Amino acid sequence: LKEMAARIRARGGLLRIVTHINHPAELTAEALIAIRNIQDCGVELLNQTVALKGVNDSEAILQDLFMQLDDLE
């Protein structure tokens, strides 16, 4: 992954991966390690979150999720 990201950057591009994290509970220690490893390869991570009734349909949960994701940059 690191080599691929470097080749893409050398051509003026940027390798991006989109995650689908919908709740702060999904940001486990294992997930955070994986995210950091991907970022260390020079890959930009984006996230797509869908609103799920009864899961993340409150402002507080979404705020918590988005703040934790933002801290990963």
Q: 17-45: per-residue pLDDT in tens?
A: 999 999 999 999 999 999 999 999 999 99
Helical H runs in 1-73?
2-10, 29-40, 59-71
Predicted structure pTM score: 0.85
Main-chain dihedrals φ then ψ at residue 13, nearest 5 degrees = -105, -175
Dihedral of the CA atoms 39, 18, 47, 33 (nearest 10)? -40
What pLDDT does residue 73 have?
A: 79
- pLDDT at residue 51 above 90? yes
47 three-state secondary structure: strand
44 three-state secondary structure: strand
